């Protein structure tokens, strides 16, 4: 039995998120089906970050055990043969028997994209938050910088979350502009449920001048979800990269 | 009865092209259904350029007649209310009773996109030709420049076309590079069936060094479809803009 590690990209539009569930098709199920068809084995996949319905991945990392004697780097092509064209293995390798893509991750990077043009927005409707509302970038950047650090992010966590602690270390929170796109790039040692989308929704309110950037510090300290902005829609969110000690 | 002119963008992924047909859902049918629900009238829409299945539009122009007393600029919002989120009216106005979006067009602009990165290609699979094959841009540009002018484009027309003449005036044929994208931008007073996709397929062969740029001139003069390159896939193609005397 060997443990296999895969790096994946997927278009989350057609899936009810990563994690397997009753009565809904998920990325995990699709991947496990591909491996079943390839090896004849029913494997159980664990992932680095459970993306929600409609959320995409550029570098999700998963692991599973198999008795198949396929060389590590050959798994990529082998699994891709059985995957639909909205899920693709980018890299594969053999991993240590104790490799856990979730618990061994040092940090994860997410990017949220906003598309700000009318032209072509039908093409981006599943891949970005499409809006032409004027946004004050300087204010958004000021607010983004205020929440970096080891902080309690309870105010930016969906209510009903089963998290035991709300402290996370946010190493990066930056708003960038490139052509018609705005992006929010975040990196943290862990993310609470809907955290990136709630941070995005809050920065959007700052960008629209609903309250000053400094208010974001107060929202953070309040630990009160109702004071933060709305949860931004899933289609703008991408799990970009997972960072491991190696 | 007044004639209405609409400018549309659409994601062609889910449609069997623009033009109405039996047993397949098309952009025209979807649009006519929206107008039926809005006005109660069954209209017959004419378009500037009949895009194929999977081809997109950033600025398709259509026209139809209606007895509804909706002001010209209000048609945009009214029709959008009944359209799915992959078709969107960008502008609307009243047009002269003799306005024909196809025959009165001075020229049309198409763009073909190639995406040249592995990262994110699942997101672009319906919106660009995704390939990492190395391409010699200088050779492609040289070849593109050779076919500009009033020429007989029979070699770049799908066989079986019902076109009566094969002469068209190609005003623009340019290969551009922007980040991970290559684009082919063309403008002509008219296009033959599959013309842009065959030009793209031929420039790809030049870019891959299968033959020198100068061969494209010979292919053009041969008027022989079998000498040109393959028809590039539809998903990279966009009807960008239609130009009228006004």
**ipTM value for the complex:** 0.89
Is residue B103 in a domain?
no
Q: Which of B95, B123, B148 is the last residue of a domain?
A: B95
A174: in domain: yes
Find the CATH number of the domain harbouring B65: 3.30.70.580
Q: Select from B203, B11, B37 the least CA-distant residue to B123.
A: B11
User: B85 CA to chain A: closest CA distance, Å?
Assistant: 7
Instruction: Specify whether A89 is located in the same domain as A6.
Output: yes
C-alpha dihedral, A218 to A222 to A226 to A229, nearest 10°: 30
Three-state SS for chain B is CEEEEEEEEECHHHCCCCCCECCECCHHHHHHHHHHHHHCCCCCCEECCCCCCCCEEEEEEEEEEECCCCCHHHHHHHHHCCCCCCEEEEEEEEECCCCCCCCCCCEEEEEEEEECCCCCHHHHCCCCEECCCCCCHHHHHHHHHHCCEEEECHHHCCCCCCCCCCEEEEEEEEEEEECCEEEEEEEECCCCCCHHHHHHHHHHHHHCCCCCCCHHHHHHHHCCHHHCCCCCCHHHEEEEEEECCC
Print the domain residue range for A56: 2-95
How many CB pairs (< 8 A) connect A and B?
Answer: 46
Nearest to B85 among A88, A122, A127 (CB): A122
| Catalytic positions of B, written as ranges | 52
Residues B119 and B51 in one domain: no
Please report whether residue A101 resides in a domain. Answer: no
Q: Among partner residues A88, A119, A125, which is closest to B122 by beta-carbon distance? A: A88
In a domain? residue B89: yes
* Same domain (yes/no): A203, A231: yes
On whether both B231 and B184 belong to a single domain, the answer is yes
- pTM of the full predicted structure? 0.93
∠ CA A235-A239-A240 to the nearest 5 degrees? 120
Domain shared by A113 and A232, yes or no: yes
Same domain, A162 and A219: yes
Q: How far apart are CA B103 and CA B166, in angstroms?
A: 16
**How close does chain A come to B173, measured CA to CA in Å?**
22
Contact residues, chain B, for A59 at CB < 8 Å: 119
Closest-CA residue of chain B to A86: B122
Supply A81's token pair: 């043969």
Distance, in Å, from the CA atom of A138 to the CA atom of A41, rounded to the nearest integer, reads 53
Residues of A in contact with B11 (CB under 8 A): 122-123, 125
Picking from B95, B119, B150, the residue at the C-terminal end of a domain is: B95
Shared domain for B129 and B159, answered yes or no, is yes
Contact A44, A58 (CB under 8 A): no
**Is A119–B9 a contact, with Cβ atoms under 8 angstroms apart?**
yes
In a domain? residue A197: yes
Query: Chain B: residue nearest A88 by CA?
Result: B122
Query: What is the Cα–Cα distance from B129 to B80, expressed in whole angstroms?
Result: 29
SS (H, E, C) chain A: CEEEEEEEEECHHHCCCCCCECCECCHHHHHHHHHHHHHCCCCCCEECCCCCCCCEEEEEEEEEEECCCCCHHHHHHHHHCCCCCCEEEEEEEEECCCCCCCCCCCEEEEEEEEECCCCCHHHHCCCCEECCCCCCHHHHHHHHHHCCEEEECHHHCCCCCCCCCCEEEEEEEEEEEECCEEEEEEEECCCCCCHHHHHHHHHHHHHCCCCCCCHHHHHHHHCCHHHCCCCCCHHHEEEEEEECCC
Residue to mutate among B7, B30, B123, with most A CBs inside 10 A, is B123
Active site residues of A: 52
**Domain check: are B64 and B176 in the same one?**
no
Check which CATH number belongs to the domain holding A146 and give it: 3.30.70.660
In this structure, the answer to whether residues B87 and B119 fall within a common structural domain is no
B122/A10 CB distance under 8 A: yes
Interface test with B, best of A122, A181, A235 (most B CBs within 10 A): A122
pLDDT at res. A181: 96
B205 found inside a domain: yes
Contact B90 A125 (CB under 8 A): no
Length of chain A: 246
- How far is the alpha carbon of A84 from chain B, nearest alpha carbon, in Å? 10
Question: Given A95, A124, A145, which residue is the final one in a domain?
Answer: A95
For an interface test with B, the pick among A87, A123, A128, A239 (most B C-beta atoms closer than 10 Å) comes out as: A123
Our measurement of the distance from residue B74's CA atom to the centroid of its chain's CA atoms, rounded to an integer in Å, reads: 26
**Which residues 125-154 on chain B approach chain A with CB closer than 8 angstroms?**
125, 127
Same domain, A89 and A144: no
Instruction: State the total domains in chain A.
Output: 2
- Which are the contacts of B131, defined by CB distance < 8 A and separation ≥ 6? B114, B115, B116
- Is residue A102 in some structural domain? no
CB contact under 8 A, B123 and A11: yes
**Domain co-membership, B44 together with B144:** no
C-alpha triplet B128, B133, B134: angle, nearest 5°: 115
Which A-chain residues 107-126 have CB contacts (< 8 A) with chain B?
Answer: 118-123, 125
* Position B101 in a domain: no
Tens of pLDDT along chain A (246 residues) come to 999 999 999 999 999 999 999 889 999 999 999 999 999 999 999 999 999 999 999 999 999 999 999 999 999 999 999 999 999 999 999 999 999 999 999 999 999 999 999 989 999 999 999 999 999 999 999 999 999 999 999 999 998 888 899 999 999 999 999 999 999 999 999 999 999 999 999 999 999 999 999 999 999 999 999 999 999 999 999 999 999 997
Q: Do A85 and B10 touch (CB under 8 A)?
A: no
Instruction: Report the relative pairing of strands A167-178 and A2-10 from DSSP bridges.
Output: unpaired
Residue ranges for chain B with pLDDT beneath 70: none
Does B181 contact chain A (CB < 8 Å)? Answer: no
* In a shared domain, residues B132 and B60: no
């Amino acid at each position: 039995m060997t443990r296999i590690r895969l790096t994946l990209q997927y278009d989350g539009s057609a899936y009810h998120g990563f994690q397997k569930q009753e009565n809904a098709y998920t990325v995990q199920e699709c991947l496990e089906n591909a491996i079943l068809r390839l090896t004849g084995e029913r494997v159980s996949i664990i992932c680095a970050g459970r993306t929600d319905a409609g959320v995409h991945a550029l570098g999700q990392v998963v692991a599973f055990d198999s008795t198949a004697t396929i060389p590590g780097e050959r798994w990529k092509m082998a699994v891709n043969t059985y995957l639909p064209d909205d899920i693709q293995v980018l890299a594969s390798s053999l991993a240590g028997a104790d490799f856990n893509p979730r618990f061994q991750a040092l940090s994860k990077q997410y990017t949220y994209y906003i598309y700000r043009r009318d032209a072509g927005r039908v093409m981006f409707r599943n891949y970005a938050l499409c809006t032409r509302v004027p946004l004050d970038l300087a204010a958004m950047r000021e607010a983004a910088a205020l929440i970096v650090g080891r902080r309690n992010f309870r105010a930016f966590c969906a209510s009903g979350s089963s998290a035991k602690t709300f402290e996370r270390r946010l190493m990066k929170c930056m708003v960038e502009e490139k052509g018609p796109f705005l992006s929010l790039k975040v990196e943290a040692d862990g993310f609470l449920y809907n955290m990136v989308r709630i941070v995005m929704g809050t920065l959007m309110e700052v960008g629209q001048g609903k309250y000053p950037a400094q208010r974001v510090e107060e929202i953070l300290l309040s630990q009160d979800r109702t004071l933060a902005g709305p949860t931004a829609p899933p289609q703008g969110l991408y799990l970009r990269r997972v960072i491991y000690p190696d």
